[in-house]
Amino acid sequence: MVSDLPWPIEKIPNKDFLFQRVHKNLIIQGSLAISMVFRNHGEGMSTDWSKYSTPQKTKNSVVKYSVYKDPNNYGVIKMKVKDVRNIEGQIVEHTPIKENRAHTDVNGEKNEKAKVLFSRIYDWSIKPPIPLNED
Amino acid sequence: MPEVIPREKLTPSNYYKKSRPFSDYTGTTPKKETAWEDTGSFAEHLHLIAKKPKTRKISLTDAFSIELPTFFHELENQIETSKTLLELSDNWDDEGSPGYKEETFFQAVEFLTKYAVWIWDEKSTLIEIPKILPAQNGSIDLFWKKEQYDLLINIPPYPNSIAKFYGDDNNETKIEGEFPLKSYNQGIFLCLLNGE
């Protein structure tokens, strides 16, 4: 039986990274609005696997989801897959879509504990522009 | 008519004149009789003055305001800065997230200020100041990301009133759960917030 998926699903090694876009408005007084960043959209939290993406590609790919979204309004954070899997209840799964071979979901409830633990494991790859109301 | 001296204007010399209005107990002869409200003991009165700090009214919105002791400068500044949350309109994140109700913001600030005042009263300690951040579905986060601990309290969107929290000291102390904003055990967060 031929799979409908354009790309095969692969196992993601712990040593690799995940990239995630962050809108500039989610930086408040220099702090990340962690509940807005580390949350599920549907089943999981969307990210890109470093094997098939780069921070710049992840930033630019926002237009694939909506022509109204401007890549210049976004930054990109990265997280080590191993650190994500160490957060209780989080499952990293490669879920490629036609437009994005790198697409990966981080499934699992994003409760207050998970958000605090996520806040400890990310680094900026590309910082977003500073919002107009921030100095 | 004897002059009535209100409680807040009592001094050691005019206090003692209450019990001995015509005496030279303090070494001086009173020029006139004085009378005042029953103030209880002088020690109790001093304690009341010392315990109750001066407060300043802070306007959050046209409808809501809070009172804070005047020396809570840092907390007051943080509250003032966080008012920009109310300027976030629907879809402010390009993902369809709603804006924030004044009542929710007031819930968050009221909880924070009451807790800060309680810790001051109980422990003579000023709590570290959290970030006041937008959260999902119209809720608001109070987030302490400090050297010795992290604590996240999510204040639900009004009229919901059950807050959720998680905190730890990056070691063995962890707290997690939920509580009603209107009445809760104020000791819950002491293990992280009391500065000890």
The DSSP code sequence of B109-169 is: HHHHHHHHHHHHHHHS-PPPPPEEEE-GGG-EEEEEE-SS-EEEEEEPPTT--EEEEEEE-
Mean pLDDT of chain A: 92
- Tokens matching residue A59: 């930033």
Altogether, the residues listed in chain B come to a count of 196
Place A130 in a pLDDT band, splitting at 50, 70 and 90.
confident
Say if residue A42's pLDDT is above 90.
no
Q: Quick one: pLDDT at residue B58? A: 87
CA distances from B59 to A87, B6, B65, B80, B109 (A): 41, 29, 4, 9, 11
Q: Is the pLDDT of residue B113 over 80?
A: yes
**Interchain CB distance below 8 Å, A33 and B164:** no
Average pLDDT over residues B139-167: 96
- Residues B15/B19/B23/B27 CA torsion (nearest 10 deg): -30
Of A1-10, A117-126, B170-179, the one with minimum mean pLDDT is: A1-10
CB A68 within 8 Å of CB A57? no
pLDDT at position A94 over 50: yes
Determine the pLDDT at residue B67: 86
Residue B4 β-bridge partners: B35
Mean pLDDT of B128-143: 96
Q: What is the pLDDT of residue B121?
A: 87
CB contact under 8 A, A34 and B154: no
Look at B166 and A112 and tell me if their CB atoms are within 8 Å.
yes
Closest residue on chain B to A24 (Cα): B93
| Cβ atoms of residues B16 and B34 within 8 Å | no
* B93 closest CB neighbour out of A25, A113, A119: A25
Residue A2 confidence (pLDDT) above 70: no
> Containing H/E element for B3?
strand B3-5
Q: Indicate whether B44 pLDDT > 60.
A: no
Q: Which DSSP string corresponds to B31-90?
A: SS-EEE-----HHHHHHHHHHS--EEEEESSSS-EEEEETT-HHHHHHHHHHGGGGGPPT
Task: Collect all residues with Cβ–Cβ distance below 8 Å to B35 and sequence separation of at least 6.
Answer: B2, B3, B4, B5, B18
> Roughly how many angstroms between the first and final C-alpha of chain A, as a whole number?
57
User: CA distances (Å), A124 to each of A49, A79, B69, B89, in order?
Assistant: 15, 9, 39, 27
Q: Are B140 and B128 in contact (CB under 8 A)?
A: no
User: Among partner residues B95, B97, B165, which is closest to A112 by beta-carbon distance?
Assistant: B165
Across the range A1-10, mean pLDDT stands at 77
Q: Please give the pLDDT value at position A4.
A: 67
DSSP A128: P
Amino acid B31: pLDDT: 40
Residue A17 pLDDT:
98
Higher-pLDDT residue of B186, A70: A70
| pLDDT attached to residue B162 | 95
- A36 touching B, CB under 8 A? yes
| pLDDT greater at residue B120 or residue A119 | A119
How is residue A4 annotated by DSSP? S
Residue B34's pLDDT is: 40
pLDDT of residue B137: 93
Lowest mean pLDDT among A119-128, B17-26, B32-41, B127-136: B17-26
Q: Which residues lie below 8 Å from residue B184, measured CB to CB, with a gap of 6+? A: none
Q: What is the pLDDT of residue B124?
A: 87
Q: What percent of chain A has pLDDT over 90?
A: 81
Calculate mean pLDDT across residues B55-79.
88
ipTM for the complex?
0.91
Residue type, B6: P
Secondary structure of residue A49 in the 3-state scheme = strand
pLDDT-above-90 percentage for chain B: 46
The minimum CA-CA distance between A1 and chain B, rounded to whole Å, is 37
Among B94, B95, B154, the residue with its CB nearest the CB of A112 is B154
Query: What average pLDDT does this structure show over A85-104?
Result: 96
Residue whose C-alpha is closest to residue A50's, from A76, A31, A88? A76
Give yes or no for A120 touching B (CB within 8 A): yes
Lowest mean pLDDT among A37-51, B23-37, B135-149: B23-37
Q: How are strands ordered across the β-sheet holding B174-180? A: B131-134, B140-145, B150-155, B162-168, B174-180
**Residue A41 contacts B, CB cutoff 8 Å:** yes
Contact yes or no for A36 and B97 at CB 8 A: yes
Q: Tell me the C-alpha to C-alpha distance, in Å, between residue B72 and each of B78, B101, B123, B168.
A: 10, 25, 15, 25
Q: Does B146 touch chain A (CB under 8 A)?
A: no
User: Which residue in A22, A25, A28 has the most chain B C-beta atoms within 10 A of its own C-beta, making it the best mutation to test that interface?
Assistant: A28
Q: How far is A105 from chain B (nearest CA, A)?
A: 17
